[in-house]
Structure formats: C-alpha cells, structure tokens
Amino acid sequence: MTNLLTELLTLDTIQTTNEVASWQDAIRVASLPLLQQNKIEKRYIQAMIESIELHGPYVVLTPKVAIPHARPTDGVNELSMSLLQLQKPVFFGPDKPVYLVIVLAASDNTSHLQALVELTQVLQEPSHIDNIIGCKGPACIIEKLTQYAAKER
C-alpha cells in the first residue's frame, strides 16, 4: 500500500524558510512549487486567499498547522500538495500562529481524501507537529512524514 502523502510531499514540494510577512505570503510561497510544476494555476492561489478572507482562518485545522485549499475548478491541473515550514509563525488569526502551511490542490472531490486522511493521522499527535517544525530541511520532514504515516497503518 503506497502512501499518497509521501508521494505528493517530496523534496520538490517541501520548502523551509525562516519567516514570511503575512499569511497571504505564506500561501503564495507554499504554492510556488505547484505553480512551477504546472499542477495549479495562479488563480488557485488567489482563490485560497479569497476563501480565507471571506470565511476566516478555517484552514487552521489544528494548532500550528494550516491547510489552505480551494475548489478543483479554481485552477487545479493535477492532484498535488506542498508544504512550507516556518521557523517563526505567521498568524492566520489573532490566536492562530502557524508554522506549517500545507497547500492541498484537489483535482476532483475524492482523489485527495486518502492523502488528507494520512495527513490527519500524522497531525493528530502534537509531538509529530513539533518534530516536523523542528526539522532542518525537507529531507528531515519527509523522513518524519514517512515514519509517522507508516506508524498509523
């Protein structure tokens, strides 16, 4: 059984940086690999930002982690995910500091669900989140994701 999560989150789609100016920038930066690989269109990034401006920081699904997304019709070319790890949190709301921004681009209403389930299993353990935040570089993040996802099977 392959792990969709680690198929989608690779060295090409994981970035680490010290800090970003705003949550909007966090989404733009996190989305860049998918844009460069032509998995999403520029309007998808705008759709994610507008969705949060409209509905509030609902993408902060668990402390320290945001999973911005929009509709498949908003410019998704292929099911994809990217991850941005921040050393300093960006605030999606007054009490919503985020260190991990995981962009989810679903190409339809179902294909992403397995990856989302795997991601949820990894993120339901606060120590897993802290360990991923503590990583120095994408290779370490992949190692942790692989380790935690395997543990949940």
CA-to-CA distance for 153 and 146, rounded, in angstroms? Answer: 11
Asked whether residue 140 is domain-assigned, the answer is: yes
Asked whether residue 8 is domain-assigned, the answer is: yes
Asked whether residue 25 is domain-assigned, the answer is: yes
Residue 82, strand partner residues:
103
Would you place residue 13 in the very low, low, confident or very high pLDDT band (cuts 50, 70, 90)? very high
Give the chain's domain count. 1
- For the cut 70, the answer to whether the pLDDT of residue 1 exceeds it is no
The residues, any chain, with a CB within 8 Å of residue 90's CB and separated by 6 or more, are 19, 20, 22, 23, 25, 26, 97, 98, 101
Instruction: State the catalytic residue, choosing from 55, 69, 112, 128.
Output: 69
Asked whether residue 123 is domain-assigned, the answer is: yes
Say what the pLDDT of residue 72 is.
Answer: 95
The residues, any chain, with a CB within 8 Å of residue 36's CB and separated by 6 or more, are none
Asked whether residue 106 is domain-assigned, the answer is: yes
Asked whether residue 60 is domain-assigned, the answer is: yes
Asked whether residue 153 is domain-assigned, the answer is: no
Q: What is the CATH number of the domain that holds 59?
A: 3.40.930.10
69 is catalytic: yes
Say what the pLDDT of residue 114 is.
Answer: 87
Residues 46-102 have pLDDT tens digits of 999 999 999 999 999 899 999 999 999 999 999 999 999 999 999 999 999 999 999
Q: What would the mean pLDDT of 133-148 be, rounded to a whole number?
A: 95
Q: What percentage of the chain carries pLDDT values higher than 90? A: 82
Q: What would the mean pLDDT of 143-148 be, rounded to a whole number?
A: 92
Q: Domain span at residue 40? A: 4-148
Asked whether residue 139 is domain-assigned, the answer is: yes
122 in Cβ contact with 57 (< 8 Å): no
Say what the pLDDT of residue 151 is.
Answer: 72
Say what the pLDDT of residue 134 is.
Answer: 97
Q: What would the mean pLDDT of 100-110 be, rounded to a whole number?
A: 93
Residues 67-83 have pLDDT tens digits of 999 999 999 999 999 99
